[in-house]
Amino acid sequence: MGISTGLILASALHGLVLSLVMAVRGYLRKQEENLWFSALLLCLSIYLLEHYGVEIGFYADHPSLVLLTYPILFFIGPFFFIYYSLVRGRQLGKWKLYVLIPPVLIYLLFLPFYIINARIDPIGGVCSLVTTQANFPYFNLLLDQLSFPVYTTLMLAVTPFIRFNTNPNQHFISARLKWINLLTYLLLAYFILFILSMAFKEQLQIISADGLSSLQFVGLAAIIHLITYVAILEPAIFSNVKPFSIGKYKHSSLDSHMSRIILGQIKNQVEVKQAYLDNSYSMQQLSSELSISRHRISQVINQELGLTFLEYINKCRVIKAKQALEKAEGRVIVNRLALDVGFNNKVSFYRAFKKHFGRSPSDFRKEFEKSVTSDRV
């Protein structure tokens, strides 16, 4: 076994273990993002294992397993799309299902091959592929070396630009934003280079076909190692995720249209009229003002924003404080600012501000002043 083959196997195993850990943690902690990320990592790891199987001649000895995992690769793009969207606070709704339709259909299109392949004598197992291609011409397109990477590249490329409704005033911790952007660029760069190397492999005479293939998968192995490295050294990126609600309001009859209408009324009262500036503002008060039950208000805020009532109010307050820090000239008295935006004390203000923006109000102010000064220079 060569060094590159060993690295590919180690990376695939790392990816499988981490995928299992992320799936279990995502399920137990009700973190939907981690569940989809584990699915993405599982697909990448299977991709490496498939190549490893080819390298050691596994599929030559077990022809009935040829292409069994190949359609899974078409899930990489959709899984990334869902994970990226959840990290950025997009409200996907049924789009989660829509983006999974193409890879599911591709898997169904492979069923004839699996059926034929299972009936072929192992000695002549390769013939099943030829037979299937003859009977089902679309196989030529699906099995083209560029079909899967091109499809995945297109999904990766368009994902950051597709617009969906996002949670109002959604704050994203800078470390998580940097992580999802880095992952996007790395995967996009990998698949673009993969496509270019396959398209111009005849011109790349300085390296053999096997050497080029090894380099491609060593690159993917490096990405999986990086993911493992980040998961170990920066666990907050994957742990600081808002839990999704399972069944809390499943018996409550409130359709999405009515929920958005009520959310608009809540936002108008809380944000537009700035009710959050009242440091004693409560859900009961909001309920009286809107003539909507407290249970219904709590349900809408939880389902539409993924927040509790207090978290929503505090988020509005710290966003107001952030705007004040950016506009202020000269020294800012934090205690005074905390009271102005609706907090009762400095401690709760500091805690809420740091939770949403990853730094204290004083540090935020210093960094903002520094950035303004550097821009002027």
- Sequence spans of domains, the chain: 3-239, 256-376
CA–CA separation, 106 and 70 (whole Å):
10
How many percent of the chain have pLDDT more than 90?
A: 26
CATH architecture of 256-376: Orthogonal Bundle (1.10)
Kindly state the average pLDDT of the residues 182-187: 90
pLDDT for the residue numbered 124 = 46
Phi, psi at residue 166, to the nearest 5°? -115, 160
pLDDT for the residue numbered 217 = 81
Average pLDDT of the chain is 80
pLDDT for the residue numbered 297 = 92
pLDDT for the residue numbered 286 = 93
Q: Where are the alpha helices (DSSP H) in the chain?
A: 3-28, 32-55, 58-61, 76-87, 95-98, 101-109, 111-119, 127-135, 138-142, 147-158, 174-199, 209-233, 236-239, 256-267, 283-290, 294-300, 309-327, 334-340, 346-357, 361-376
User: Is the predicted pLDDT of residue 10 greater than 60, yes or no?
Assistant: yes
* Tokens linked to 47: 């991709």
Phi-psi region at 241: left, alpha or beta (left = phi > 0; alpha = psi -120 to 50) = beta
> Looking at this protein, which amino acid is placed at residue 109?
L
Q: Dump pLDDT digits (tens) for 113-158.
A: 777 665 555 444 444 555 555 566 666 777 777 788 899 999 999 8
Q: Dump pLDDT digits (tens) for 207-261.
A: 555 566 677 788 888 888 888 888 777 776 776 555 554 455 555 556 677 788 8
Q: Which residue has the tokens 């339709």?
A: 101
Confidence of residue 88 (pLDDT cuts 50, 70, 90): confident
User: Is the predicted pLDDT of residue 270 greater than 50, yes or no?
Assistant: yes
Lowest-pLDDT range of 46-55, 124-133, 237-246, 337-346: 124-133
User: Is the predicted pLDDT of residue 309 greater than 50, yes or no?
Assistant: yes
Confidence of residue 168 (pLDDT cuts 50, 70, 90): very low
CA–CA separation, 262 and 258 (whole Å):
6
pLDDT for the residue numbered 167 = 45
Kindly state the average pLDDT of the residues 61-87: 85
